[in-house]
Chain A
């Protein structure tokens, strides 16, 4: 388990590189990959798993 102060490390699913996530990261949160800029979705925290985030769809918004 991670605490609110521990850095959270994860593997970038596209490049395989290790990337650091915000300490308070949430499941469902979207992270911009610091390597490629691709939007990544946090799938789980224990273990930390990232996937490429879904593409924008036409009915998204406010």
Chain B
């Protein structure tokens, strides 16, 4: 099959993907979105013969627009722009999870310092303030006191881009020193790991230690539902265990002693190099299995349309 990869930076993740695709004999077209233009009817990118395009843009804004344009030309693209739209914005992400009745941290959005402060005081301390767009734990604040809240809100209002004036405030979830990252394709888990740190931010990008994790039935159910809630695709579903005392956490796989989870985020251009290292799963192989199935399904749709 002919696969297009939208990118602006080839990370280890894209390299793993490219290697697996080429090893299987697929023809890969790398599309550097920085070099292309996207018109209302067509693009300078060579997409006409592609069976499927995979969005691996590092930049969220480029990802959202490029997939939207490709979709408008009828080019099959994963993830779908609708999924990206929900996942790229933490407020939309939280709303989608809540609408699907999936446990997710209590969240409020406010547009002024004053109303943000009201929300923070109602949550109590500590609570968390996040940018609505952003990743890797960047610019996230755990707020421990009123004076810290005042300072952060003033800085954000004065210095920030307009998106920083959308104050996204969330309860602080007292997780057992780790959270769980699941890579899933259309709701089916490929691999899962914990990310542990003494710091409240446990992201692998922040240096959290990773370890393979075996999902229990409840986690499997939540991953499937969270995927469906944002429109499906290749996703990084992030969960935290709730109701676990730190001393009850043995550090072993399987979520022993947890029983319940909260889903705090679903990511649409998921990185998987850490999962590939932390688990026994050949992640790029599983991802390419899924891409092959998506391309075949897209070809089937085209054939069906041609017959009608």
Contact call B11/A30, Cβ cutoff below 8 A: yes
Chain A, interface SS category: loop
Residue pair A61, B10 in contact (C-beta under 8 Å): no
Residues of B within 8 A of A59 (CB): 59-61, 133-134
Once the chains bind, are B10 and A28 in contact (CB under 8 Å)?
Answer: yes
Contact of B138 among A29, A53, A54, A61 (CB under 8 A): A61
Q: Find the B residue at minimum CB distance from A30.
A: B9
A14 interfacial by beta-carbon distance below 8 Å: no
> Would you call A28 and B30 a contact (CB within 8 A)?
yes
Give the nearest-CB partner of A57 in chain B: B59
- By a CB distance below 8 angstroms, the chain B residues around A41 are 9
Total cross-chain contacts (CB, 8 A)? 60
The answer to whether A60 touches B135 (Cβ under 8 A) is: yes
A30, B60: Cα distance in complex, Å: 19
Alpha-carbon distance A59/B161, docked complex (angstroms)? 12
Q: Given the known A-B contacts A26-B15, A26-B18, are A62 and B271 also in contact in the complex, defined by CB atoms under 8 Å?
A: yes
Q: Say whether B38 faces chain A, with CB atoms less than 8 Å apart.
A: no
Task: Determine the chain B residues whose CB is within 8 A of the CB of A29 once the complex forms.
Answer: 10, 15
B8 contacts chain A at the CB level, 8 A cutoff: yes
What 0/1 readout, one digit per residue, does chain A (1-42) give for beta carbons within 8 Å of chain B?
000000000000000000000001011111000000000011
Closest to A61 in B: B135
Query: By the criterion CB–CB under 8 Å, are B161 and A58 in contact?
Result: yes
- In the bound complex, do residue B58 and residue A60 qualify as a contact, i.e. CB atoms below 8 Å apart? yes
Q: Are A62 and B269 CB-contacts (below 8 A) given A28-B30, A28-B32?
A: yes
Contacting pair A62 B270 (CB below 8 A): yes
Question: Given the complex of chains A and B, what is the CA–CA distance between A60 and B135 in angstroms?
Answer: 7
Q: Which residues of A contact B232 (CB under 8 A)?
A: none
B167: CB under 8 A from chain A? no
B267 contacts A by Cβ under 8 Å: yes
- The reply to whether B236 and A62 form a contact with Cβ atoms under 8 Å apart is yes
Q: Assess the A60–B59 pair: CB atoms within 8 A.
A: yes
CA of A62 to CA of B14 in the docked complex: distance in angstroms?
13
CB distance from B226 to the nearest CB of A (A): 15
Q: Does B268 contact A (CB under 8 A)?
A: yes
Q: Enumerate chain A residues within 8 angstroms of B15, measured Cβ to Cβ.
A: 24, 26, 29
Q: Which of B156-198 contact A (CB under 8 A)?
A: 161
B184 → A minimal CB distance (Å)? 14
Q: How far is the CB of A24 from chain B (nearest CB, A)?
A: 8
A60 → B minimal CB distance (Å): 5
**Is the pair B161, A61 in contact by a Cβ cutoff of 8 Å?**
no
Q: When chains A and B are docked, how far (Å) is the Cα of A32 from the Cα of B18?
A: 20
In the complex the two chains form, is A60's CB within 8 Å of B7's CB?
no
- Does the CB pair B60–A60 fall under 8 Å? yes
B136 at the interface (CB under 8 A from A): yes
> Given A28-B30, A28-B32, do A58 and B7 touch, yes or no (CB 8 Å)?
no
Asked if A28 meets B60 with Cβ closer than 8 Å, knowing A62-B267, A62-B269, the reply is no
* 15 CB-based A-B contacts, threshold 8 Å: A26-B30, A28-B7, A28-B14, A28-B30, A30-B11, A54-B9, A57-B59, A58-B131, A58-B161, A59-B61, A59-B134, A60-B135, A60-B136, A62-B269, A62-B271
Interface of B with A (CB < 8 Å)?
A: 7-11, 14-15, 18-19, 30, 32, 58-61, 131, 133-136, 138-139, 161, 205, 236, 267-271
